Amino acid sequence: MTVDALPYTDFYKAKKGIWSWLFTLDHKRIALLYLYAIISFFLVGATLGILMRLELFQPGKDIIEPQTYNQIFTLHGVIMIFLFIIPSIPAIFGNFLLPLILGTDDVAFPKLNLLSFYLYVLGALFALSTLIFGDGPADTGWTFYAPYSVKTGTNVTMSVLAAFILGFSSILTGLNFIVTIHRLRTPGMGFNQMPLFSWALYATSWIQVLATPVIGITLLMIVAERVFGIGLFDPSIGGDPILYQHLFWIYSHPAVYIMALPAMGVVSEIIPTFAQRTIFGYKAIAYSSMAIAFIGYFVWGHHMFTSGMSGPAAIIFSILTFLVAIPTSIKVFNWLATLYKGSIVIDTPLLYALAFIFNFLIGGLTGLLLGALAADVHVHDTYFVVGHFHYVMFGGTGFAFFGALHYWFPKIWGRMYNKKVANTAFAIFLIGFNILYFPMLILGIMGMPRRYYDYLPEFTSLNQISTVGSWITVTGIILMLINLIVAARKGEKAPDNPWNGITLEWQTKSPPPLENFDKMPQIPEGGPYNFPNAYKHKH
C-alpha cells in the first residue's frame, strides 16, 4: 500500500476561496456542501428524537408540554424525511460518485445541480423558519393530513411550502442523474456494465421524477386551502379528505423507495469489494431495482387500510404490496450468495452493510405483517408501525448511509480513519439501535398508539428500555462522527485504492483531481465486479 507520489492538484486545492465553494459547478464540491448540510440536519432531527424519548421515559408530563410534543414529532419527521433521508445517499454519494463510477467528469447539467442544492437550502430555511415565524412548527405529523392541517393554528403553510421546494430539488437531482446515466457513461460501458450503485440511482431517479410532482400539486392544494379558508378536501363543499391521503401516498409510498433503493445500491457495491468476488446475480440485482421502483407505485393504498377506503380497493392494494417483497428478497439472497465462498475481509464498511441486511430484514418482515390487511387493522397507527419504519429507514438506509461514508471516506478525503474506533462505534450504534427500536415493536403489539404524549403504566418498562437505547445509539453516532472528523483532518494518507475495489472510482487519485480522471479509465474486463482473484478461486 504505497501512496502515489506523483504531484497533482486535487479538487480541494484546484480553486480557492469561499465563493469557489458557494458557486461551484463541480459535482464533488456540491456533494460535500450537501454532506455538511444533511449531517447537520440529521443531528437536529436526532436531537428532537432524543427529546421525544426523554418525554416518554415515564407516563405523564416529564419535560415538555403536549402541544410542544406534537410539534416536535412533526418537525422530527419533516427534517428526517425531507432534509435527511431522501437526499442523503443520492445527493451526497450519488453526486460525488456517479460521475466517478461512470468514468466521466461531472453530471450532465452541472448548473442544474447547483440549483438543486440551493433549492434544498431554501426548503430547509422554510422548514426551520416555522420555529421563529407564525404560531410555531406544524403539529400535524409529517403527513399533513387534511382536514386537521387546515384547521390547526400552527404554521402548516411554511412547512408544506418547504416540502414543495425540497420536492423540486429532488426532481432536479433525479433528472440530472437519469440524463447522466444515459449520456455520459465512459465509452464501452453499456447499461449492463454499469456498477450496481448507478443502477440503484437510476431506479431512484425515476421515482424522484415521476412521483414527486404529485405531492407537489397536493401540497399546493393544502396551501390554497389555508389561504382561502376553504379547500378541495373540505367535505362541506363536496370534497373528500381521504382523497388527500390517496394523493399524499401516491408520492410518499414510492418515496420510501427513494430512501431504500440507493441504500441497496451502496450495499451492492460494498459486498463484492469486501468479498473480493464477482457479484452473484448482477442482472437480478440491477433489474430488481427497476422492479421495486415500478411496483412501488402500485401499493400506496396500504397506508390507508383503516382510513375508510373501500374493501375491494384495500384487498387489491394488500395483494400488490406482497409483490414488492419479491424483488427485495431477490437482492438479499444475491448479497448472501456473493459472500458465500468469497475471500471476505471484515472491515468497517462491510460491517455496516451486514447490519443493513440484518436490520432491513426485521424492517421488511414486519412490513409484510403490516401489508397483510387483516393484521394491519390491529396494529395500524401503533408503535409497531413506528418500529417498522425506523428499522427500514434508520436501520436500513441510515446504516447504509454511514457504511457508504466509511467505504468512500478514503476516496473523498484521501485519508483513512482509525478502524478500531470505527468498529467500536459501529458496535455501540448497532446495539443501541436495536435496544431503541425493538421494544417499540412489542409495544405496538401490546397496543400502544403512536404519536401519543402519554401512555398507560403497563407500557413503562419497555419505554424506558427504548429511551436508554436512544442514549446508547447517540453515543455510537457521536463516537463515529468524531472519529471521522479527526480522520478527515489528521488521518494518515490513504492510498488510491485501499479496499482493492475495481469500479472506476478506485482508478483515480484520492481525493480525485478536479476533472476526476487524468487518463482514460479502464473498464474491468468481463463485467464491473470481475475481480482478478475471483478467477483464482475458479482455477
Partner 1 sequence: MSDNNNVHISSYKEHFSTWAALILLTFMTVAVSVFGAELRTLSVATAMIIATVKATAVGYYFMHIKYDPKIYKWMMGTVLALFTFFMIMLTIDYLTR
Partner 2 sequence: MDHTFHLPNSGHNFDAKSSKLGMWLFLYTELLLFGGLFLVYMVYRELNSEAFLLASFKLNVWMGTFNTVLLITSSMTIAMSITALQKGNKKLSVNLMWLTIIAALGFLVVKYFEWGAKFEHGLVPGMEHYDTLPMGERLYFYLYFFMTGLHGLHVIIGAIFILFVIRGVNKGTVTPERYSLSENAGLYWHLVDLVWIYLFPLFYLIH
Q: Are 527 and 278 in contact (CB under 8 A)?
A: yes
Exposure b/e, 278-309, CB count within 10 A at least 16 = b = bbbbbebbbbbbbbbbbbbbbbbbbbbbeeeb
Closest approach of Cβ 212 to partner 2, in Å?
A: 7
Closest approach of Cβ 237 to partner 2, in Å?
A: 4
Torsions phi, psi for 524 (to 5 deg): -60, 140
* Pick 91 or 393: Cβ nearer partner 2: 91
The alpha-carbon radius of gyration of the chain (Å, integer) is: 23
Q: Are 102 and 189 in contact (CB under 8 A)?
A: yes
309 binds, among partner 1, partner 2, none (CB under 5 to 8 A by kind): partner 1
Phi-psi category of residue 414: left, alpha or beta, with phi > 0 → left and psi -120 to 50 → alpha: left
List the one residue from 20, 47, 192, 310 that touches partner 1 (CB under 8 A). Answer: 310
Contact range with partner 1 by CB under 8 A, out of 93-101, 123-131, 280-288, 294-302: 294-302
Cα distance between residue 317 and residue 300, in whole Å: 7
C-alpha cell at 222: 393544502
Cα distance between residue 245 and residue 309, in whole Å: 10
8 binds, among partner 2, partner 1, none (CB under 5 to 8 A by kind): partner 2
Instruction: Write the interaction track for partner 1 spanning residues 401-440; mark x where CB under 8 A is met and - where it is not.
Output: ----------------------------------------
List the one residue from 250, 369, 421, 478 that touches partner 1 (CB under 8 A). Answer: 250
* Pick 125 or 520: Cβ nearer partner 2: 520
By CB under 8 A, residue 119 contacts partner 2: no
- Whether residue 147 is preceded by a cis peptide bond, meaning omega within 30 degrees of 0, is yes
Exposure b/e, 31-40, CB count within 10 A at least 16 = b = bbbbbebbbe
Cα distance between residue 438 and residue 432, in whole Å: 10
Contact range with partner 1 by CB under 8 A, out of 116-124, 311-319, 351-359, 449-457: 311-319
Strand pairing report for 492-493 and 415-416: antiparallel
Cα distance between residue 417 and residue 405, in whole Å: 11
516 binds, among partner 1, partner 2, none (CB under 5 to 8 A by kind): partner 2
By CB under 8 A, residue 246 contacts partner 1: yes
Instruction: Write the interaction track for partner 2 spanning residues 211-240; mark x where CB under 8 A is met and - where it is not.
Output: xxxx-xxx--x--x---xxxxx---xxxxx
Q: Are 283 and 191 in contact (CB under 8 A)?
A: no
By CB under 8 A, residue 311 contacts partner 1: yes
Torsions phi, psi for 3 (to 5 deg): -85, 135
By CB under 8 A, residue 192 contacts partner 1: no
- Provide the 8-state DSSP code for 382: B
By CB under 8 A, residue 312 contacts partner 1: yes
Closest approach of Cβ 224 to partner 1, in Å?
A: 21
The candidate with the shortest Cα–Cα distance to 199, out of 225, 178, 227, is 178
Q: Which residues, 81 to 100, sit near partner 2 by CB under 8 A?
A: 99
By CB under 8 A, residue 307 contacts partner 2: no
By CB under 8 A, residue 47 contacts partner 1: no
Contact range with partner 1 by CB under 8 A, out of 39-47, 84-92, 278-286, 301-309: 301-309
Closest approach of Cβ 113 to partner 2, in Å?
A: 9
Quick check: helix, strand or coil at residue 137? Answer: strand
Note the residues at the interface with partner 2 (CB under 8 A): 6-9, 25, 27, 99, 102-110, 112, 171, 174-176, 178-180, 182-187, 209-214, 216-218, 221, 224, 228-232, 236-240, 243, 246-247, 250, 513, 515-520
Note the residues at the interface with partner 1 (CB under 8 A): 183, 210, 243, 246, 250, 297-298, 301, 308-313, 316-317
